[in-house]
Every structure is written in C-alpha cells, then in structure tokens.
C-alpha cells in the first residue's frame, strides 16, 4: 500500500499489518481476522451505504472452537431491497463508474478502485483478450464482489497501516462454475505471488481475498520486525466447512524511521525479517578478518565454536552462528561461502515477539484490611498472557491476615478477573 501513504507524516512510528493466510485466504476469513483486531462494523456499513449497498449487512459471530471463542464473518442480504432491474451493474466498467461517483472517503475509494482494477485486468488476461471490463457478468455476482471489496478496504483503512505483509498463499481450487473459469482466474491472480497448492480441505481461497492480498501486499513471507500491538483470528463458519479454516492478522508498531528511508525504501524496511545464519567454515584462515567482514555487513550476535576432531584435537573448522537483516543476509552468506570456505550455509527467518508489562491496582473485597493490591499484567499484543500479584503487596496482605501467601494470591487473582471483566 506504499502509494497510498501520502497522508502520513514521516519520522513517526508506523504500523505494519501482517496477514497470516497459510490456513485460509478467503475474503470472509480476512474480514473476520481484521474485525478481531478491532474495527468498527458501523463504519463498514456506512461505506457500503456510500456505494448503494444498503441491502448488505456485515455480521460477526462468535464460534466455539477448541474451547475458544473465535470470530467468523458472514453477510445478511435483504433481497427485498436488491433491485437490479434499473441500471443493473453487470460489468466491471459500471462497477468502476459506481465507485468513482460514490461518497466514499478518498482513501477508501482509491483502495477499492485498485482492487477492482486488479480483478478486472486478471479477468481479461485469463480470457486471452476475449473479455474486458465491458463484458457482461451476473449482476448479483458483481454486487457480492463489490460488497466484499468495500468491506475489506474499509477495515484496512480503519487500521491505517503504513504497509501490509502477507504469508505465502495456499491455493485450494473452489467448486467449478458453469459460467466462469474461476480456476483460471485465480491462477492469473496468483502471478507474482508466492503460493503453494494445498490439498487440505480446511483451506479456503476466493477471488476477492486473493485480489486484496495482491493489490496491497508490500512483501510476502514472515512478519517484519516491530512491537506487536494487536492480534486477531478469523475462522470459517462451521456450517460452511466442518474442518474450519483460519486467518490471523497482527498489527505491529515499527521503529521510528528517517524521512529518507520513508520516501525511498519504505517497503523493504517495513517488511524485512531477521535471518539466522549458520555455517561450518574450513581452515586454516584468518578468523579475525572473517569476523570483521561479517560485522561490517551488519551481522550481530556472532558466535564462533571450534569443532573438535576425533581424538580430542582441535581442527581448523569452526561453526559460526549470527543474525542479520534480510537485506544483508545474501552478502553475509557470500562471505561465508567464499572467504570462509563454508561447505554449506543454512539460513532461516526469525520472528521476534516480546511481552509488554503493565501494572494495575486491583480493588479487593471488604474482608481485607488493605483495600487494593498491585498486579503486574504481561501482555502479548492486546491480550494478557500472564498475571503476577506484586510480591510486596502480597506479603503485606499475608502478614495482615491469618492466611498463607498462596491463599492470598488466589484471592487477588480472583479479584483481578472480576475487575478486568468489569473494566
């Protein structure tokens, strides 16, 4: 989405939206995951109203799966207001005109037009030039497509990421259509996208979901570096697929970047993952010169281990581990192979996750002489993953009562649960 960032000020912390679609990349899954991250459905409804789709109502459901409540997405369509008899929107050109004259915000309109043009051009390419944006299609099919596009763009605009990264895309062929070559259309959309064919019945894929990913993804692969803010999970509706399909969305805050990097190299900066590099280098060689070259190229956390040969004697061979940014990894691999004489070099992406700490004061029941207790919350994104009562307050509560610290700790955690639900 790098050409839609002109409204953002440089030299600020930016947000990266990463979509893990390895278990499903349909528009419904993407919408459910984005909704779980945190968007307003009312804003989505207003966007749909702006393009004349008042008959489409987006709905989020809670699906019980593996003892967890996950989000799923579906549409409620009011057929009584679905009048296609007057000026039917049955071509891509009419859809583009309808979007162009709508009252959507300038950002949402630009995003929707880009996705629609991606679909229109791939439709024409798949037909070998026999079809174009003036070719008539089923009006209901295009209306549904437009609703999905507007909903996706509205949710992404609300999250306001500086860039979007996407995992590798799975592809499971949808049911055949008697009127459209959906399989060929999907294959055309897949050009330039890292993908793999999946036999898993739980994997879902559709045209709009794939078009949104192709249009806005700055990179494909693992999530780049940054501090996680929110994580959302979308799941397919149980009645649609007994095996269930998933999509995960994560919103991360990126480090402050310079104006030069923002203007000239934003996408690589936002999406670069950390790479772990391991190699066995052959000696004899100048170890200090090799390490100096690696550090000059940006390798850090370099660890060298001498390999002991049979009989307990030290050989000239060394095992080297280091970490680097993705953009420097190829140069480092080349140095290890050429200068170090490595027999092989292995590299693997590394995702960095960290917990954030928050201290809250929890009110206690009337039976305690101390009316509150500090509690430390450890969070991953916006979710609490661990809770620890403050040790000093815990000892004071135990001293003021006849109960053990374990008993007081259980009471404090119960109070925290009630307090967190109420707040």
pLDDT given for residue 177 in this prediction = 61
CA 170 to chain centre: 15
Domain locations along the chain? 2-270, 274-350, 356-422
Are 164 and 19 a contacting pair, CB within 8 Å? yes
- This prediction's pTM: 0.60
The domain over range 274-350 is classified in CATH as 3.30.450.20: no
pLDDT tens-digit profile, the chain (423 residues): 434 444 444 445 678 899 988 888 889 999 999 999 989 999 999 999 998 888 888 888 877 665 566 778 888 777 544 444 444 567 888 888 888 888 898 889 989 999 999 998 888 887 776 777 888 888 888 888 999 999 999 999 999 888 888 888 877 666 566 567 777 888 888 887 877 766 555 556 888 999 999 898 877 877 766 788 888 888 877 654 446 678 899 998 876 544 444 444 444 444 455 678 888 877 666 777 888 888 888 787 777 777 655 555 555 567 777 777 766 788 888 888 888 888 788 887 766 566 778 888 888 865 545 578 889 888 876 778 888 888 888 888 888 887 888 888 888 888 888 888 876
pLDDT given for residue 115 in this prediction = 92
Taking each helix axis from N to C end, the angle separating 405-422 and 391-399, rounded to the nearest 10 degrees, works out to 120
């Amino acid at each position: 989405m790098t050409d839609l960032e002109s409204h953002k000020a440089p030299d600020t912390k930016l947000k990266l939206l990463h979509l893990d679609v390895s278990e499903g990349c349909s528009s419904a899954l993407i919408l459910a995951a984005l909704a779980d991250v945190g968007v307003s459905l009312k804003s989505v409804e207003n966007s749909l109203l702006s393009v004349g789709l008042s008959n489409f109502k987006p709905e989020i459901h809670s699906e019980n799966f593996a003892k967890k409540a996950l989000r799923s997405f579906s549409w409620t369509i009011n057929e009584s207001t679905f009048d296609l008899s007057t000026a039917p929107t049955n071509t891509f050109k009419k859809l583009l005109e309808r979007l162009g004259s709508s009252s959507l915000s300038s950002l949402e309109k630009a995003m929707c037009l880009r996705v629609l043009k991606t679909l229109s051009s791939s439709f024409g390419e798949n037909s070998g030039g026999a079809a174009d944006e003036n070719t008539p299609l089923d009006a209901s099919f295009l209306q549904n497509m437009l609703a999905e596009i507007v909903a996706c763009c509205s949710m992404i605009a609300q999250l306001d990421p500086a860039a979007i990264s996407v995992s590798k895309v799975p592809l499971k062929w949808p049911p055949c259509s008697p009127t459209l070559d959906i399989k060929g259309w999907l294959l055309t959309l897949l050009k330039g996208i890292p993908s793999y064919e999946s036999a898993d019945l739980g994997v879902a894929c559709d045209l709009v979901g794939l078009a949104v990913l192709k249009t806005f993804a700055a990179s494909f692969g693992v999530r780049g570096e940054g501090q996680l803010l929110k994580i959302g999970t979308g799941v397919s509706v149980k009645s649609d697929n007994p095996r269930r399909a998933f999509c995960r969305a994560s919103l991360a805050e990126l480090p402050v970047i310079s104006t030069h990097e923002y203007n000239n190299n934003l996408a690589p900066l936002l999406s670069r993952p950390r790479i772990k590099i391991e190699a066995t280098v052959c000696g004899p060689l100048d170890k200090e010169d090799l390490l100096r070259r690696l550090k000059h190229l940006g390798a850090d956390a370099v660890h060298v281990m001498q390999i002991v040969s049979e009989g307990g004697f030290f050989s000239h061979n060394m095992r080297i581990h280091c970490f680097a940014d993705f953009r420097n990894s190829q140069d480092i691999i080349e140095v290890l192979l050429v200068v170090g004489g490595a027999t092989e070099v292995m590299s693997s992406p590394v995702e960095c996750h960290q917990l954030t700490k928050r201290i809250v004061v929890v009110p206690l029941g009337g039976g305690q002489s101390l009316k509150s207790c500090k509690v430390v919350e450890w969070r991953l994104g916006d979710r609490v993953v661990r809770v620890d009562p403050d040790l000093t307050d815990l000892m004071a509560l135990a001293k003021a009562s006849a109960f053990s610290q374990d008993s007081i700790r259980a009471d404090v955690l119960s109070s925290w649960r009630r307090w967190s639900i109420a707040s």
